[in-house]
Amino acid sequence: MTTIHEVAEAAGVSISTVSYALSGKRPVSEKTRRRIEDAVQTLGYEPDAGARMLAGRRTQIFGLTEPLRADTHAPTHMAFVLAAAVAARRRGYDILLLTDEQASEGMNRVAASNLVDAILVLDVAPDDERADIARSLRSPTVFIGIPDDADGLTCVDLDFEGTGHLAVDRLADAGHTSVTLLGQTEVSYRKSNFPRRLLLGVQERAAQRGVDLDWATTGDTTTDASAVRGAAEMALSRGVRAFIVHAVGDVHEILLETIAAHGLTVGEDVSVISAAASFDTSSLAVPVDTIPLVPQKSCELAVDLAVRHLEEPGTPAQIHLIPPEYHVAGSVAPARE
Amino acid sequence: MTTIHEVAEAAGVSISTVSYALSGKRPVSEKTRRRIEDAVQTLGYEPDAGARMLAGRRTQIFGLTEPLRADTHAPTHMAFVLAAAVAARRRGYDILLLTDEQASEGMNRVAASNLVDAILVLDVAPDDERADIARSLRSPTVFIGIPDDADGLTCVDLDFEGTGHLAVDRLADAGHTSVTLLGQTEVSYRKSNFPRRLLLGVQERAAQRGVDLDWATTGDTTTDASAVRGAAEMALSRGVRAFIVHAVGDVHEILLETIAAHGLTVGEDVSVISAAASFDTSSLAVPVDTIPLVPQKSCELAVDLAVRHLEEPGTPAQIHLIPPEYHVAGSVAPARE
DNA sequence: TTGAAAGCGATACCAA
DNA sequence: TTGGTATCGCTTTCAA
């Protein structure tokens, strides 16, 4: 293993100059920097992580806690983990995984041992026990999702209520007076809170705009195809021609199939908006207007906030809602008389 | 932050005694150990990770590389990540995530900087570039999966060929002379190698036992329900009454539905074996005999091997195949005349 | 059974 | 623009 001493010797300078040349925290003359870089190159030098942590009081590691509850939608979750890892890496941080029981216990452990510079919290539950833990830690902690008691916490999330407002507005603007919200599974309305927040936003705005609203869940603990089909058919037969879908890809597919089976055409006879979908809606059978939930955005903001808290320790905790963005694909049509 | 010095002072001993008392690497008298433990407790002492790494030359961290290719089955993958994290933690190790481009590049980085003690490799491809990287590293590396060129590598995996053998044997023993293998997607036979290994095992044993074999894939890049149904119907109409399924849960469900739709009963008219499934087959509509792929087993063995390589540096690289286990659920019936 | 002290390999302060 | 060196908090050898 090559050390900073060997690099210094090879370059004919002191170790402090090597350190400064590599960190850029002090100006170094062009030619000495070249010599140092050459030495680093030929010797294959890589600073020792442990020594760095000890001397620099920075680990360049973020903890990522994820309980991985059984009802977590795996693809969505993986997208968030991946996005967090990529975002962190861009800022020079690695991700240390805290899953399962370690999700809570590990937070204390890695914070107390200075293994991580900050902690990112995924898969947030309404009554998340990690909220209290976070409040008791000195390490900056950023929640991706919002617990019921978010007091004193830094949180990042899509503005689900705003998303609900936006979806209803678009349909109401198109003249629809009757809308069905095809939601998540029953269990997710109890164990998470973003589905409720979207529902609330939809209900609120529907009331304001005088829109009749129906709400159907899509299964008990897991997506139930026949329940979805049933709900869609019921709505269509009652004359509903506008849908907001807050669900996984399969539910979208079933709705689109059911609409087609009724001899109706999305974007002409029926309007559909996909709300807060984290999958690629462009791969659906029919193009659907989407207000997407973009893991990259949430995670990049979360990482930015963690870094900011590290660099400016005084930064106040705050909830950051990401404004919804409406992507037109032609699935919303004017209501027919 | 409390340091080992404060603990030593509080307990009235030297720091070395504290260190030894906590690591157990040297006998410490009962009563001094008590005093030290008390001090640790009341002060809330947790050893500094960086200092530990530097002085102890051990990080207690494993790198986990996972490219997360687009065709990766998310739930299966998550099960492996979780199992790896749990197994590692049991032995006192944390998991550092190396995803995406970092899967390869990161291996070199974390190994060179001594950030990790060993590396676990997930999501192994036939021509995996991480094979060469692993061979060039000094850090112990364990593959969970087997690349085509596994020379000099330590690998862990289910014995997929043996799984194929076992499945065919059970059906042949029951008198079946005609079997259909319902396999994975097309793409997985190109981008992974375990599907091929299972296929090979099935073909081999089918030839040996004089069993007619048909093989159907279940879609191009993603599971195609109608393709699965078509394959199942084709087989049933040709008189095939024995199936080996190597696929995700949905494919099982579709096969079972199709069998029922033909008025046939699994375990009486038709025999079905699920091979190398990593999901919980007990939640299927009909109980199905299973030769499971258990992430916990693979990951525990992988972690054990990594630890062994750390403790006994001479340990030779080797491929470790986990013997298949047959779980009876009553879905295999004697063939009818 | 215990203690003193020499590192481990960086960072960053104080001088020059 | 550069160098010397104290320091970070622990592990482990050597001595007692």
In DSSP notation, A21-48 reads HHH-SS---HHHHHHHHHHHHHHT----
pLDDT of residue B337: 63
Q: What average pLDDT does this structure show over B204-218?
A: 96
Question: Does residue B208 sit within a domain?
Answer: yes
Q: A173 and A282 in one domain?
A: yes
Please tell me which residue of chain B has the smallest CA distance to A90. B102
Quick one: A78 and A173 in the same domain?
no
Based on the fold, state whether residues B18 and B67 are members of the same structural domain: no
Q: How far: B91 CA to C2 C1' (Å)? A: 30
What is the helix, strand, coil percentage profile of chain B, to 5? 45, 15, 40
B100–A86 C-beta distance less than 8 A = yes
Q: Is residue A172 part of a domain?
A: yes
What's the confidence (pLDDT) of residue B221? 86
Interface-testing mutation among B62, B113, B250, with chain A (most A C-beta atoms within 10 A) = B113
Expressed as residue numbers, the domain containing B30 is 4-55
Tell me, yes or no, whether A23 lies in a domain: yes
User: Which regions of B23-105 does DSSP assign to beta strands (E)?
Assistant: 61-66, 94-99
The CATH number given to whatever domain includes residue B185 is 3.40.50.2300
**Burial profile B122-138: b = 16 or more Cβ within 10 angstroms, e = fewer:** bbbbbebebbebbeebe
Average confidence (pLDDT) over B187-198:
92
Asked if the structure places residue A331 within a domain, the reply is no
Residues A186 and A270 in one domain: yes
B110 within domain boundaries: yes
pLDDT category at A221 given cuts 50, 70, 90 is confident
Q: In this complex, which residue's CA is closest to the C1' atom of nucleotide C3?
A: B14
- Residue at the smallest CA–C1' distance to nucleotide C9: A51
Answer whether B115 sits within 8 Å of A94, measured CB to CB.
yes
Using an 8 Å CB-CB cutoff, list residues of chain B that contact chain A. Answer: 1, 44, 46-54, 59, 61, 64, 68, 74-75, 77-78, 81-82, 85-86, 89, 94-100, 102, 106, 109-110, 112-115
Give yes or no: residues A273 and A127 share one domain. Answer: no
**Rounded to an integer, what distance in angstroms lies between the CA atom of residue A95 and that of residue B65?**
12
- Strand C contacts in A 18-47 (CB under 7 A): 19-20, 22-23, 25, 45, 47
The integer distance in angstroms from the CA atom of A51 to the C1' atom of C5 is: 20
A49 touches strand C (CB under 7 A): no
User: Which one, of A251, A244, A207, lies nearest residue A324 by Cα?
Assistant: A244
Q: Tell whether B181 and B245 lie within a shared domain.
A: yes
B21 and B143 part of one domain: no
**Subunit contact A59:B75, Cβ cutoff 8 A:** no
Residue A30 lies in a domain: yes
Instruction: Tell me whether residue B329 is in a domain.
Output: no
Please report the pLDDT score of residue A57 as a whole number. 96
The beta-carbon neighbor of B49 closest among A44, A74, A113 is A113
Average pLDDT over residues B218-234: 91
Please list the residues that pair with A213 across neighbouring strands: A179
Out of B53, B74, B106, the one facing A53 most closely (by C-beta) is B53
Do B102 and B29 lie in one domain? The reply is: no
Domain count, chain A: 3
Could B78 and A77 be called an inter-chain contact, meaning their C-beta atoms sit closer than 8 Å? yes
**Residue A337 in this model has a pLDDT that exceeds 90:** no
pLDDT in tens, A102-155: 999 999 999 999 999 999 999 999 999 999 999 999 999 999 999 999 999 999
Cα-Cα-Cα-Cα dihedral of B127, B128, B132, B135, to 10°? -120
pLDDT in tens, B86-137: 999 999 999 999 999 999 999 999 999 999 999 999 999 999 999 999 999 9
Cα A328 from Cα A333, distance rounded (Å): 11
Same domain flag for A219 and A262: yes
Query: Domain with B18 in it: what CATH number?
Result: 1.10.260.40
Same domain for A189 and A278: yes
Judgement on whether residues A251 and A146 belong to the same structural domain of the protein = no
Record the pTM: 0.95
Asked if A51 CB < 7 A from strand C, the reply is: yes
- Statement to judge: residues A153 and A181 lie in one domain: no
Query: How many Å does it take to go from CA A7 to C1' C10?
Result: 13
As a rounded value in angstroms, the CA-to-C1' distance for A15 and C4 is 29
Is residue B328 situated within a structural domain? no
**Closest Cβ opposite residue B46 in set A47, A78, A112:** A112
- The pLDDT mean for chain A works out to 95
Assigned token pair, A2: 């090559």
- The string of pLDDT tens digits covering residues A257-315 is 999 999 999 999 999 999 999 999 998 999 999 999 999 999 999 999 999 999 999 99
pLDDT tens per residue across span A44-99 = 999 999 999 999 999 999 999 999 887 789 999 999 999 999 999 999 999 999 99
